[in-house]
A and B are shown apart, each in its own frame.
Chain A
């Protein structure tokens, strides 16, 4: 039996430590990992819990992130609870195997501490790695602070291992701003956390020799499409399960999570939509703008990036006249991916509001309250003019001449 690790009602943890405590309390059987900044402390901490007898699981430090996720797949198919963590280049190296994990419907939990992708090399937070995983068939949830990194990691096991879901889950937090900033965190007691997460009930367990199974069969044109469609349907159908698990979590913790979070949106004319730590900055900016200029500004945050909450986004944005969607990843010759999701959701709305795209914060570039105010003020200008007054895609807090693409004005 593991040695009891005492937790206080209130702790001062950074996002990495919070995530690692969730892995300990969830009694993860095997962590297979490779270190990379800024996610390294998550798995280091798990390793120290193993080393000090706080957990009965095993830590396998492998030779690359590709091997880390490969090992997670092997261990998960062997019927136990599995988790790991990574960032950036490590995430990129994992990509091949991410698709395998979801295609095999294995309930692995991956803590992603978001970081930019090289070149040029950069260790700071942006969402390039998170976007790289967006078609991988994983459920993707975003934490905006350390408390949420802890809470969502616990919820992730419940969602992934639910028999009607059986999909791997990523819990994202922003590199350094969340992962390395110590904040107040109110953890569940060990007992409450263990009770909430429960014991994994394996499906197609490779170590159940009364029922040998073959994982990883080849499916050509007669089968592949049905399998991938079923996988897509499973992720789309996971929404009510996620909602139910969030509701259950609220009952024991008092903390409420929704797949789409809204702040000051009831009467908003303009809003900014963001992911990660951007949300907290935007909330401050929107409130100040309401006071300073009387602009009815709101903030919409996506908690669950995959499955993307199209209906909830459309519903929450009903009545909003101009929307700024922020993408913290270099779009590489298109609108930002997040913009496209929101624009897709709003294309079927009755009001058809204006939707604009802002690229910001690459490589850890700060997004200030003033930057957000500028974005929201431009939305108000759109509302006043009745058309989009700027380029559809702009860059925020970038040096040099104004950079914008796709003029909406038509001659």
Chain B
């Protein structure tokens, strides 16, 4: 595959964009950083699909498209299916010699938000992974249904207030833990699964390149802070991402072949969950005395998960 150099930012900045501006994502949205980085980390032809969600409704608003490559959106749930079937069609047409350029390398990529990945599109995603199609699925995880006004998804963490898990006098917000999508996708036996974040741009680019180069279905969960629904200033997107990775709320790691786990980033100074939560309006209510125990629980969950990841890495399981 024709990968582009991600040795340093200066070299990476010489790549040409294939995801264009004047899309209608919110100012400060991390989705576009992640998408653009994926598109710029290879020179290969790309077929990209997207589930319904913020990315889709903001980048293909007729009569405009922000995509400089083949792109398809069908519904909320089926980006994994549409792109994997296109990949099979590519295989057949290559065999039959009916492609315009039969030798050009092509990569197949699907994007989904956490709602379409964790919830409504999960069956389609799981099916495509079970069938071992050669494609990469990237989840833009902003932990809620931002496109429809910030409802809870199964990616929403415990304690967050959303428009359908409302914090108030009788509730601290969402009661249930976030679904561990990375573990679930690794359990499909996928050759490469990772959790990455845009603040660690080089790790993310390398992860994307690994996924694109690896034959078979690869899954990457990317942290995509949402200023609109997490309630922070657009300018703080990268700062919040730093807090997310450095508090280990979003540990960055990869799993090869379902069992070889490598931690990709170990913060020099691990910050507290409290600091991460305190920077966002969606957790503001947790700082009332009566909900203090929720912060403690979140911290404990983070600590337990980090310990588990380290044990898995050490044991190579």
A82 contacts across to B, CB distance below 8 A: 89
**Cβ contact within 8 Å between B61 and A62:** no
Taking a contact as CB atoms under 8 Å apart, the answer to whether A74 and B86 are in contact is: yes
For residue A90, which residues in chain B have a CB less than 8 angstroms away from its CB? Answer: none
Structural contact, B100 and A67, CB atoms closer than 8 A: no
Contact (Cβ within 8 A) A78 B127: no
Q: How far is the CA of A219 from the CA of B64 in the complex (A)?
A: 10
A212: which B residues are within 8 A, CB to CB?
67-71
Contact A219 B62 (CB under 8 A): yes
Decide yes or no: A62 and B45 within 8 Å by CB, A207-B100, A214-B71, A215-B72 being known contacts.
no
Q: What DSSP secondary structure best describes chain B's contact surface?
A: mixed
A392 to B96: give the CA distance in the assembly, Å: 57
A206 at the binding interface (Cβ < 8 Å): yes
Mask of A207-219 contacts with B, CB within 8 angstroms, 1/0? 1111011111111
- Provide the bound-state CA to CA distance between A199 and B97, in Å: 12
Does A23 count as interface, using CB distance less than 8 angstroms?
no
Residues on the A chain within 8 Å of B99, using CB: 207-208
Q: Which chain B residues lie closer than 8 Å to A220 at the CB level?
A: 61-62
Mask, B82-119, CB within 8 Å of A = 1, is: 11111011111101101111001010000000000000
B123 pairs with A63, CB closer than 8 A: yes
**Binary interface encoding of chain A residues 74-92 relative to chain B, with 1 for a CB under 8 A from any of its CBs, else 0:** 1101111010000000000
With both beta carbons as reference points, the residue of chain A lying nearest to B93 in the complex is identified as A80
B75 at the interface (CB under 8 A from A): yes
Write the chain A residue with the least CB distance to B133: A60
A223 to B62, CA, bound (A): 7
- Counting chain B CB atoms within 10 Å of each CB, the highest count among A67, A72, A82, A213 belongs to A67
- Closest Cβ of chain A to B113, distance in Å, is 15
Query: A70 and B63 in contact (CB under 8 A), knowing A29-B92, A215-B73?
Result: no
Bits for A197-241, please: 1 = Cβ < 8 Å to B, else 0: 001000001111110111111111001000000000000000000
Chain A residues proximal to chain B, CB less than 8 Å = 29-30, 32, 56-58, 60, 62-64, 66-67, 70-75, 77-80, 82, 96-97, 100, 199, 205-210, 212-220, 223
Binding site for A on B (CB under 8 A): 45, 47, 49, 56-57, 60-65, 67-75, 77-78, 81-86, 88-93, 95-96, 98-101, 104, 106, 123-124, 126-127, 130-131
